[in-house]
Amino acid sequence: MTEVKRYRACKRTVFWFFVVAFGLEAGFKYALHAISGFVAQNVLIIIDMAWAAIMMTAVTVFPIYILVARYDVSTTKVRLRKGFFIISDQFVPTSSVMSVTTVMTPLSFITGFNFVVLNSAGAKSILPFVTRRQAREISDTVSKAIKQRLDNSGGKRLWQ
Amino acid sequence: MAVNGASARVLRSRAKEFLSFRQHPIKIIKYTTRYLWLLLLSLAKYLIASHFDIKGWIEANWFDLVILSAIFGFAFIRWITVYFELGSDRIITHTGFLGMTRTVVFFEEIASVSLCQGPVSFMLRNCTVYIDTDAKCVQSTDIRIDLTKSKAMEIYHTISCKSKTRTAYVYKANKKQLLIFSLLFSSAVSGAIVLLTILYQAYRITDDEFNKRLIDTVNDQMHIIEGSGIWMYFLAAGLAIALIFVASFVSNLLRHWDLTCKRGEDFLRVRSGKGARRHHLLRRKYMNYLDFTQSFFMRMFNICSVEVSCTGYGKRRKEISAIIPITTSKDAVMSARMLVPEYTLCRPQIKTSRACIPGFIILPVLSALVPIAAGIVMQRFFPWRRTQIIFIEIMTALPLIWLTIVKVEAAVSTSFGFSGNSVTLSYCRWYTFHRIALKKERITKIAVRQNPFARLFGTCTVIFYTTGEKTRRHLVGGVNYKRTMKLLKDNGYDLIGKAKDNT
């Protein structure tokens, strides 16, 4: 029986997302002020309302996404739970994973903007917003499973 | 004299050997630039204008002629440098710029081989050979070379020699059945009918409108404008479309005419086409799944065709990945069982029911209501355009109403089931019904999706991802959530199991 480890999305990401959103909001307001001299008032109101709708949706949806996201990883399978309005439970057998990609963005040790991508033939699974340690651990576990599979099958794929 | 004769023989045999590993000479023309004929036309025009004064023509157009010679020279050098080697267990090709790309493909790794000929290639006895492996990182063909028909067949026989030793079953398409069913159920024919109806209605409306406006406004100049007749353009467009559809239908039919599919030890050998025969080899262990496809009408009359997902097969232009063309469902199932016994259809374990109909049709119904509502509003604002608005309204709403009818059938026929190592998925994608037979190890990912409404009614959508060159999702929608999770768990896909928290 292989051990299944559960990873949850990094909560710090929400804080940094809010910081980025606040920066974007400030920049947008400044840009709106700059163009207010030569753009009609009603157009400005429409743009402002649209932007407010986008920001409110993002600010509401992102924390829900982070709260919902969880990844169960073992050497035989990877389970993902993601989404905010439509919740999706996913199952990826490690026997179908061909390679693992780990994306670590600059300052991700603070922000938590790290991603692990499992590349299977005909499917791609993304495990977003994990800490650096978690990203390394997940990558190592799946890589170990791939190596084990190749050793057992003499370098051939399982269906051969 | 004898020495000269011997050396001539040696030279001839060397030339023969040299040519036998090169592509068909027609490739030299293909290697030249596509719009070369524009330059040739201009040169021919000058030659005619100068009354075939060759000397004067060369003096005036020497630069163009140098460019032309350079293009042909480069094409010739490319033809010389691109060649292939055929071993007992592998094929090696030297392709790309001056043959710099060397590709080695072992016969054991080949997923599919296709030998294709168009009408021109058929007359020139030229054949394009496509060799694909199951390397998922390569989306395009691994090897593509243009050879003489005999050389292409030699490669084909070398690769398939193992399969030839034991041909277990041969499927032959019934020609009469193929012709009748294609005529009745082809989407090209129904598409042509819809398009022609649109054009005919447009022509009628335009003609009536035009006449009315002519009488009202330009009575005195009627005889001038009458001749210009805008309706003629619609009629001409209708005729052109009808001709294109007929040509497309006939060429498609000829491409799949006389289809035979032989089951060998490790390959399926598919041959089809009238005149220009197409040969395909599909390695059975690299096949991803079988797809029994049906349109709504085909479903009503129990007709279907069987397609196969195998790397390289059916991905070329105007090619369908069929192994059994349009035939009765019973015949298709029986023949598929004989051709590929490793793929079995299982009994559905989870099915949708009549209670699921609202969930399936809600989106098509709402989409169909949009053009109808828009048409009613438009009629209030533009009452003098009533005829045109009604026509556009009907034409826009018609496909969506049809989709609603199709989805009603989908709501009572969507299902999936497992049996040992086999999986069968029945679902409807847009207007087409699919019944997929695949093996468990070909599933690369399973996702179970629920929106708030589905959570309320206890249903979900199961998405099966299968191996293949491209991402192919099989969406089985509207199935019971609890039963689905249990069935998936029983078959080794535990989506919501326990785990040790490691955050």
Task: Give the pLDDT score at B319.
Answer: 74
3 state SS of B151: helix
Same domain membership, residue B262 and residue B152: yes
Same domain membership, residue A75 and residue A47: no
Residue B250 is assigned to a structural domain of this protein: yes
Residue B356 is assigned to a structural domain of this protein: no
Interface test with chain A among B108, B444, B466, by most A beta carbons within 10 Å: B444
Same domain membership, residue A113 and residue A50: no
Task: Show contacts of A2-5: CB within 8 Å, 24+ apart.
Answer: A2/A74, A2/A75, A2/A76, A3/A74, A3/B500, A4/A72, A4/A73, A4/A74, A4/A77, A4/A79, A4/B497, A4/B498, A4/B499, A4/B500, A5/A72, A5/A73, A5/A74, A5/A137, A5/A141, A5/B499, A5/B500, A5/B502
Q: Do B443 and A160 touch (CB under 8 A)?
A: no
Which of B439, B445, B503 lies at the smallest CB-CB distance from A90? B445
Q: Do A91 and B451 touch (CB under 8 A)?
A: no
Residue B164 is assigned to a structural domain of this protein: yes
Domain count along chain B: 5
ipTM: 0.87
Separation between Cα atoms, residue B483 and residue B503, nearest integer Å? 31
Measure A98 CA to nearest chain B CA, in Å: 9
Low-confidence ranges of chain B (pLDDT < 50): none
Residue A95 is assigned to a structural domain of this protein: yes
Amino acid at B115: L
Residue A157 is assigned to a structural domain of this protein: no
Measure A157 CA to nearest chain B CA, in Å: 10
Residue B194 is assigned to a structural domain of this protein: yes
* Edge-to-edge order in the sheet of strand B260-263: B143-148, B126-133, B110-116, B278-283, B267-272, B260-263, B169-172
Closest alpha carbon within chain A to B309: A122
Which of A65, A87, A108 is the endpoint of a domain?
A: A65
Same domain membership, residue A50 and residue A76: no
Interface residue A4 vs chain B (CB under 8 A): yes
Interface residue A5 vs chain B (CB under 8 A): yes
Same domain membership, residue B399 and residue B438: no
Q: Which of B353, B356, B337, B335 is nearest to B345 (CA)?
A: B337
Q: Do A122 and B467 touch (CB under 8 A)?
A: yes
Q: Do A90 and B451 touch (CB under 8 A)?
A: no
Same domain membership, residue B156 and residue B59: no
Closest alpha carbon within chain B to A120: B444
| Residue B330: exposure state from Cβ atoms within 10 A (0-12, 13-18, ≥19) | exposed
Same domain membership, residue A140 and residue A77: yes
Task: Give the pLDDT score at A159.
Answer: 47
Same domain membership, residue A98 and residue A40: no
- Contact in structure between A61 and A51 (CB atoms under 8 Å): no
Residues of B in contact with A89 (CB under 8 A): 447-449, 495-496
Same domain membership, residue A148 and residue A77: yes
Q: Do B447 and A86 touch (CB under 8 A)?
A: no
Which of B451, B493, B500 lies at the smallest CB-CB distance from A86? B451
Residues of A in contact with B496 (CB under 8 A): 79, 81, 89
Residues of A in contact with B444 (CB under 8 A): 92-93, 96, 120-123
Q: Do A90 and B442 touch (CB under 8 A)?
A: no
Task: Give the pLDDT score at A38.
Answer: 86
Which of A89, A93, A122 lies at the smallest CB-CB distance from B466? A122
Separation between Cα atoms, residue B476 and residue A83, nearest integer Å? 19
Q: Which of B362, B273, B392, B358 is nearest to B322 (CA)?
A: B273
Residue A160 is assigned to a structural domain of this protein: no
Residues of B in contact with A79 (CB under 8 A): 494-497, 499
Separation between Cα atoms, residue B469 and residue B462, nearest integer Å? 21
Same domain membership, residue B166 and residue B285: yes
Same domain membership, residue A81 and residue A52: no
Within its chain, how far is the Cα of B174 from the centroid? Answer: 22
Phi and psi at residue B142, in whole multiples of 5°?
-70, -45
**What is the sign, positive or negative, of the torsion defined by CA atoms of B47, B51, B55, B57?**
negative
Same domain membership, residue A96 and residue A131: yes
Separation between Cα atoms, residue A44 and residue B282, nearest integer Å? 61
CATH number at residue A112: 2.30.29.30
Domain span holding position B459: 413-490
3 state SS of B277: coil
Interface residue A156 vs chain B (CB under 8 A): no
Residue A107 is assigned to a structural domain of this protein: yes
Same domain membership, residue B56 and residue B113: no
Task: Give the pLDDT score at B52.
Answer: 85
> What are the respective helix, strand and coil percentages of chain A, to the nearest 5?
50, 25, 25
Task: Give the pLDDT score at B272.
Answer: 87
Residue A145 is assigned to a structural domain of this protein: yes
Q: Do B465 and A120 touch (CB under 8 A)?
A: yes
Interface residue A79 vs chain B (CB under 8 A): yes
Residues of B in contact with A123 (CB under 8 A): 444-445, 465, 471
Same domain membership, residue B287 and residue B322: yes
Separation between Cα atoms, residue B115 and residue B156, nearest integer Å? 8
Separation between Cα atoms, residue B213 and residue B208, nearest integer Å? 9
Domain count along chain A: 2
- Contact in structure between B114 and B130 (CB atoms under 8 Å): yes
**What is the sign, positive or negative, of the torsion defined by CA atoms of A130, A132, A136, A141?**
negative
Residues of A in contact with B288 (CB under 8 A): 122
Same domain membership, residue B439 and residue B368: no
Separation between Cα atoms, residue A158 and residue B368, nearest integer Å? 47
Residue B118 is assigned to a structural domain of this protein: yes
Same domain membership, residue B198 and residue B232: yes
Domain span holding position A46: 12-65
Q: Do B452 and A122 touch (CB under 8 A)?
A: no
Same domain membership, residue B138 and residue B185: no
Which of B84, B99, B117 is the endpoint of a domain?
A: B84
* DSSP string computed for A35-104: HTTTS-HHHHHHHHHHHHHHHHHHHHHHHHHHHH-EEEE-SSEEEEEE-SSSEEEEEEEGGGEEEEEEEE
pTM: 0.83
Separation between Cα atoms, residue A10 and residue B93, nearest integer Å? 50
Burial B118-135 (b: 16+ CB within 10 A, else e): eeebeeeebbbbbbbbbe
Work out the angle at residue B230's Cα, subtended by the Cα atoms of residues B224 and B235, and round it to the nearest 5 degrees.
Answer: 130
Measure B431 CA to nearest chain A CA, in Å: 23
Closest alpha carbon within chain A to B447: A90
Same domain membership, residue A134 and residue A80: yes
Q: Which of B335, B277, B331 is nearest to B114 (CA)?
A: B277
Same domain membership, residue A78 and residue A16: no
Q: What is the mean pLDDT of each run of 10 residues along chain A (160 residues)?
A: 86 92 94 89 92 93 94 93 93 91 88 90 90 93 89 60
Residues of B in contact with A88 (CB under 8 A): 447-450
Q: Give residue A155's region: left, alpha or beta (phi > 0; psi -120 to 50).
A: left
| Bridge partners, B268 (sequence order) | B263, B282
Residue B335 is assigned to a structural domain of this protein: yes
Residues of B in contact with A4 (CB under 8 A): 497-500
Which of A35, A65, A95 is the endpoint of a domain?
A: A65
Beta strand segments in B352-455, E:
415-419, 422-429, 432-439, 443-450
